[in-house]
Structure 1
Amino acid sequence: AEVAEHVVAVLGEALSNAARHAKANRVEVVLQAIGQRVVLTVQDNGVGVPEQGRRSGLRNLAERAEGLGGAFEVAGPATGGTRLTWSAPLS
Protein backbone atom coordinates (compact mmCIF):
# COMPACT_ATOMS: atom_id res chain seq x y z
CA ALA A 1 0.00 0.00 0.00
CA GLU A 2 2.84 2.41 0.83
CA VAL A 3 4.53 1.88 -2.54
CA ALA A 4 1.19 2.29 -4.34
CA GLU A 5 0.67 5.69 -2.69
CA HIS A 6 4.10 6.78 -3.89
CA VAL A 7 3.42 5.54 -7.43
CA VAL A 8 0.20 7.57 -7.61
CA ALA A 9 1.95 10.70 -6.29
CA VAL A 10 4.89 10.27 -8.70
CA LEU A 11 2.55 9.80 -11.65
CA GLY A 12 0.62 12.94 -10.69
CA GLU A 13 3.82 15.00 -10.49
CA ALA A 14 5.13 13.61 -13.79
CA LEU A 15 1.87 14.37 -15.61
CA SER A 16 1.71 17.83 -14.08
CA ASN A 17 5.28 18.54 -15.24
CA ALA A 18 4.47 17.35 -18.77
CA ALA A 19 1.39 19.57 -18.99
CA ARG A 20 2.59 22.69 -17.17
CA HIS A 21 6.29 22.89 -17.91
CA ALA A 22 7.13 20.70 -20.90
CA LYS A 23 4.20 21.88 -23.03
CA ALA A 24 3.80 18.30 -24.20
CA ASN A 25 0.86 17.21 -26.32
CA ARG A 26 1.58 13.49 -25.92
CA VAL A 27 2.48 11.48 -22.82
CA GLU A 28 3.09 7.74 -22.60
CA VAL A 29 2.76 6.02 -19.21
CA VAL A 30 4.01 2.50 -18.57
CA LEU A 31 3.65 0.81 -15.16
CA GLN A 32 5.31 -2.59 -14.76
CA ALA A 33 6.01 -5.10 -12.03
CA ILE A 34 9.38 -6.58 -12.91
CA GLY A 35 10.45 -9.26 -10.48
CA GLN A 36 10.15 -7.70 -7.05
CA ARG A 37 10.19 -4.09 -8.34
CA VAL A 38 7.60 -1.67 -9.61
CA VAL A 39 8.79 0.52 -12.49
CA LEU A 40 6.93 3.62 -13.67
CA THR A 41 8.05 5.24 -16.91
CA VAL A 42 6.54 8.51 -18.12
CA GLN A 43 7.71 9.89 -21.45
CA ASP A 44 6.50 13.06 -23.15
CA ASN A 45 7.20 14.91 -26.38
CA GLY A 46 7.65 18.30 -24.77
CA VAL A 47 10.53 20.76 -24.64
CA GLY A 48 12.65 18.69 -22.26
CA VAL A 49 14.12 19.62 -18.90
CA PRO A 50 15.98 22.95 -19.05
CA GLU A 51 19.54 23.13 -17.72
CA GLN A 52 18.54 25.98 -15.41
CA GLY A 53 15.33 26.28 -13.45
CA ARG A 54 13.44 24.85 -10.52
CA ARG A 55 13.92 21.18 -9.84
CA SER A 56 12.01 20.81 -6.59
CA GLY A 57 9.45 18.48 -8.16
CA LEU A 58 12.14 16.25 -9.65
CA ARG A 59 14.04 16.27 -6.36
CA ASN A 60 10.85 15.15 -4.60
CA LEU A 61 10.49 12.22 -7.03
CA ALA A 62 14.09 11.18 -6.39
CA GLU A 63 13.63 11.41 -2.62
CA ARG A 64 10.49 9.25 -2.78
CA ALA A 65 12.39 6.55 -4.68
CA GLU A 66 15.46 6.70 -2.44
CA GLY A 67 13.31 6.55 0.70
CA LEU A 68 11.96 3.20 -0.48
CA GLY A 69 15.32 1.85 -1.64
CA GLY A 70 14.48 2.58 -5.27
CA ALA A 71 15.85 4.73 -8.06
CA PHE A 72 14.87 7.72 -10.20
CA GLU A 73 16.26 8.79 -13.55
CA VAL A 74 15.52 11.68 -15.90
CA ALA A 75 16.61 11.36 -19.51
CA GLY A 76 16.27 13.37 -22.69
CA PRO A 77 15.73 10.78 -25.43
CA ALA A 78 17.26 11.41 -28.86
CA THR A 79 13.71 11.82 -30.18
CA GLY A 80 13.16 14.80 -27.83
CA GLY A 81 11.01 15.33 -24.80
CA THR A 82 11.65 13.84 -21.38
CA ARG A 83 11.59 10.31 -19.99
CA LEU A 84 11.20 9.83 -16.23
CA THR A 85 11.85 6.36 -14.82
CA TRP A 86 10.95 5.73 -11.18
CA SER A 87 11.30 2.37 -9.45
CA ALA A 88 11.00 0.84 -6.01
CA PRO A 89 11.05 -2.61 -4.41
CA LEU A 90 7.66 -4.24 -3.90
CA SER A 91 8.63 -6.03 -0.71
Structure 2
Amino acid sequence: MDKPLSTKPEECHYSFFQHTQCEFFPCHKTAKPEDFNCLFCYCPLYALGDKCGGNFAYVGDGIKDCSGCLVPHGRGSYSYITKKFPELAELARKKDTK
Protein backbone atom coordinates (compact mmCIF):
# COMPACT_ATOMS: atom_id res chain seq x y z
CA MET A 1 0.00 0.00 0.00
CA ASP A 2 1.23 3.50 -0.80
CA LYS A 3 2.31 5.72 2.05
CA PRO A 4 -0.10 8.66 2.53
CA LEU A 5 1.32 12.08 1.68
CA SER A 6 1.91 14.20 4.77
CA THR A 7 0.19 17.56 4.90
CA LYS A 8 3.21 19.15 6.56
CA PRO A 9 6.06 19.86 4.11
CA GLU A 10 8.62 19.64 6.93
CA GLU A 11 7.75 15.96 7.27
CA CYS A 12 8.35 15.27 3.56
CA HIS A 13 11.67 14.38 2.01
CA TYR A 14 11.32 16.96 -0.77
CA SER A 15 11.59 19.83 1.72
CA PHE A 16 15.07 19.00 3.03
CA PHE A 17 18.34 18.24 1.24
CA GLN A 18 21.97 18.24 2.30
CA HIS A 19 24.94 18.28 -0.04
CA THR A 20 27.55 17.36 2.55
CA GLN A 21 30.23 16.83 -0.11
CA CYS A 22 29.92 20.43 -1.31
CA GLU A 23 33.18 22.32 -0.86
CA PHE A 24 31.31 25.01 1.07
CA PHE A 25 29.11 22.85 3.32
CA PRO A 26 27.82 24.38 5.46
CA CYS A 27 28.12 27.76 3.75
CA HIS A 28 26.90 29.63 6.84
CA LYS A 29 28.09 29.19 10.43
CA THR A 30 25.68 27.01 12.36
CA ALA A 31 25.68 25.16 15.66
CA LYS A 32 23.63 22.36 14.06
CA PRO A 33 25.12 21.33 10.70
CA GLU A 34 22.91 18.21 10.75
CA ASP A 35 19.89 20.52 10.34
CA PHE A 36 21.44 22.62 7.56
CA ASN A 37 19.17 22.60 4.50
CA CYS A 38 20.86 23.05 1.10
CA LEU A 39 17.59 22.97 -0.87
CA PHE A 40 17.65 26.73 -1.37
CA CYS A 41 21.38 27.04 -1.97
CA TYR A 42 20.82 30.51 -3.39
CA CYS A 43 18.04 32.25 -1.52
CA PRO A 44 15.03 32.95 -3.73
CA LEU A 45 14.03 35.74 -1.31
CA TYR A 46 17.06 37.91 -2.03
CA ALA A 47 15.04 39.92 -4.55
CA LEU A 48 12.53 40.93 -1.87
CA GLY A 49 15.10 43.27 -0.34
CA ASP A 50 14.23 44.23 3.22
CA LYS A 51 10.99 42.18 3.06
CA CYS A 52 12.78 38.82 2.89
CA GLY A 53 12.57 38.31 6.65
CA GLY A 54 16.19 37.29 7.03
CA ASN A 55 19.17 38.55 8.99
CA PHE A 56 21.11 40.64 6.47
CA ALA A 57 22.92 43.95 6.12
CA TYR A 58 23.27 46.26 3.15
CA VAL A 59 26.94 46.67 2.27
CA GLY A 60 26.60 49.39 -0.35
CA ASP A 61 24.89 50.04 -3.66
CA GLY A 62 21.87 48.03 -2.50
CA ILE A 63 23.86 44.81 -2.20
CA LYS A 64 22.77 42.53 0.62
CA ASP A 65 25.23 40.58 2.76
CA CYS A 66 23.30 37.48 3.83
CA SER A 67 26.23 35.65 5.43
CA GLY A 68 24.57 35.90 8.86
CA CYS A 69 21.23 34.54 7.66
CA LEU A 70 19.97 30.99 8.07
CA VAL A 71 16.35 31.59 6.99
CA PRO A 72 16.55 29.44 3.82
CA HIS A 73 18.76 26.83 5.48
CA GLY A 74 16.70 25.51 8.39
CA ARG A 75 14.64 22.34 8.54
CA GLY A 76 11.45 24.45 8.47
CA SER A 77 12.61 26.75 5.68
CA TYR A 78 10.54 25.16 2.92
CA SER A 79 7.19 26.43 4.20
CA TYR A 80 8.55 29.89 4.95
CA ILE A 81 10.08 30.25 1.48
CA THR A 82 7.06 28.93 -0.41
CA LYS A 83 4.70 31.24 1.52
CA LYS A 84 6.75 34.15 0.14
CA PHE A 85 6.25 33.08 -3.50
CA PRO A 86 3.22 35.37 -4.03
CA GLU A 87 5.42 38.36 -3.10
CA LEU A 88 8.04 37.20 -5.60
CA ALA A 89 5.37 36.77 -8.27
CA GLU A 90 4.11 40.30 -7.62
CA LEU A 91 7.65 41.65 -7.89
CA ALA A 92 8.07 39.87 -11.24
CA ARG A 93 4.69 41.11 -12.46
CA LYS A 94 5.61 44.72 -11.64
CA LYS A 95 8.93 44.34 -13.45
CA ASP A 96 7.24 42.84 -16.52
CA THR A 97 4.72 45.70 -16.78
CA LYS A 98 7.37 48.43 -16.88
TM-score normalised by length of structure 2: 0.30
Question: 1 or 2, which has the higher strand percentage?
Answer: 1
Q: Which has the larger radius of gyration?
A: 2
